[in-house]
């Protein structure tokens, strides 16, 4: 379910970590363009054009060994998308695998910084972007992310799926990243949108979805999140009507196409934000190879367990 799933301790540590990084205002030369290809059918009316210029700007945030960079590139409909690239300490003659990261509702790419550091220490690069209408990006129809109308959420979802595909195009231009070993981790709303993305993007080799589910009709009509409660207060209580509006960004209809690439889902046993039935609907729709881990707790169960299980999964899969 769409939610800012950042644990309060993690959030505080993230802010502290970001404050310790010196900002070095040097801009790298734009990487080479991706090979020209024809525009492809997209999501919810937004097309994916891998031949469109990325117009990338990369600004160093410093660091020794592990390094971080602010990135700006053109995404869906030519709009600019801000990203945070974290690279592990370089190893001579080797390219790093890379994991795309996507935050939850109300969050931003900065919420993924500590996870990126953990992965970098394991040898993985990471690239986190802001979901449409979040972080540094302009609001959709001037609404805050927690008060999006249903069709606004559909637009944000479709834009973000295409933005992630363009982010993958950007990674393919990096000589220090192994574009044959791209993974994905999405949290809550990031996992819901990410499940649509990975089904559409053949270059992603493995995916992990934290606290995510499917069936927008069920989510909006049963979740305890404020986003869903607001809709119900406005009279949106018919799951069939909700699903009809959100079907083209519902991962239950796309996730099967991710196979035969490996999928891991981690959910909390007592989650009421993404109810267990929604998580099970998404897992049931996926095909093998797949695995689901149910941890004690609610929407954000034991973070250390989630990270540990995910790292082991990525080591086997990438």
Q: Alpha-carbon distance 140 to 138, whole Å? A: 6
Say what the pLDDT of residue 237 is.
85
Q: Is the pLDDT of residue 8 over 60?
A: no
Closest CA to 193 of 241, 239, 129: 129
pLDDT digits (tens, 9 = 90+) for 74-103: 999 899 999 999 999 999 999 999 999 999
More confident residue, 37 or 263: 263
Q: Which two tokens stand for residue 155?
A: 């637009």
Mean pLDDT estimate for the chain: 88
Q: Is the pLDDT of residue 290 over 90?
A: yes
Say what the pLDDT of residue 293 is.
98
* Residue whose token pair is 């302009």: 138
The ranges assigned to domains in the chain are: 8-317
Between 124-128, 202-206, 236-240, the lowest mean confidence (pLDDT) is in 236-240
Backbone phi, psi, residue 51, to 5°: -90, -10
In this prediction, residues 297-310 reach a mean pLDDT of 95
Alpha carbon distance, N-terminus to C-terminus of the chain: 27
Say what the pLDDT of residue 235 is.
81
CB 165 within 8 A of CB 48: yes
Has this prediction a pTM greater than 0.75? Answer: yes
Say what the pLDDT of residue 148 is.
85
In this prediction, residues 159-166 reach a mean pLDDT of 98
Q: Topology of domain 8-317, per CATH? A: Rossmann fold (3.40.50)
Q: Is the pLDDT of residue 34 over 90?
A: no
Say what the pLDDT of residue 182 is.
98
């Amino acid at each position: 379910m769409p939610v800012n799933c950042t644990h309060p301790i993690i959030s505080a540590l993230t802010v502290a970590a970001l404050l310790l990084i010196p900002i070095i205002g040097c801009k790298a030369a734009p990487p080479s363009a991706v090979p020209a290809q024809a525009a492809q059918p997209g999501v919810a009316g937004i097309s994916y054009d891998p031949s469109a210029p990325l117009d990338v700007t990369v600004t160093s945030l410093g660091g020794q060994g592990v390094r971080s960079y602010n990135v700006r590139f053109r995404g869906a409909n030519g709009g600019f998308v801000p990203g945070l690239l974290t690279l592990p300490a370089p190893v001579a003659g080797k390219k790093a695998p890379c994991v795309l990261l996507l935050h939850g509702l109300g969050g931003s790419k900065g919420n993924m910084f500590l996870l990126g550091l953990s992965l970098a220490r394991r040898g993985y690069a990471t690239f986190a972007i802001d979901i449409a209408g979040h972080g540094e990006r302009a609001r959709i129809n001037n609404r805050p992310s927690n008060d999006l109308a249903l069709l606004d959420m559909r637009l944000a979802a479709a834009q973000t799926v295409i933005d992630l595909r363009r982010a993958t195009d950007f990674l393919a231009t990096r000589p220090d990243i192994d574009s044959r070993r791209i993974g994905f981790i999405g949290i809550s709303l990031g996992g819901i949108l990410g499940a649509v993305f990975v089904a559409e993007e053949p270059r992603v080799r493995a995916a992990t979805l934290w606290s995510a589910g499917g069936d927008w009709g069920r989510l909006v009509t049963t979740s305890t999140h404020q986003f869903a409660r607001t809709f119900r207060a406005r009279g949106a209580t018919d799951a069939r009507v909700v699903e009809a509006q959100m079907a083209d960004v519902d991962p239950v209809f796309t996730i099967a196409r991710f196979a035969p690439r490996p999928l891991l889902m981690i959910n909390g046993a007592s989650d009421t934000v993404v109810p267990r039935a929604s998580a099970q609907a998404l897992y049931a729709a996926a095909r093998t190879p797949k695995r689901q881990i149910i941890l004690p707790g609610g929407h954000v169960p034991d973070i250390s367990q989630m990270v540990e299980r995910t790292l082991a999964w990525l080591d086997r899969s990438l």
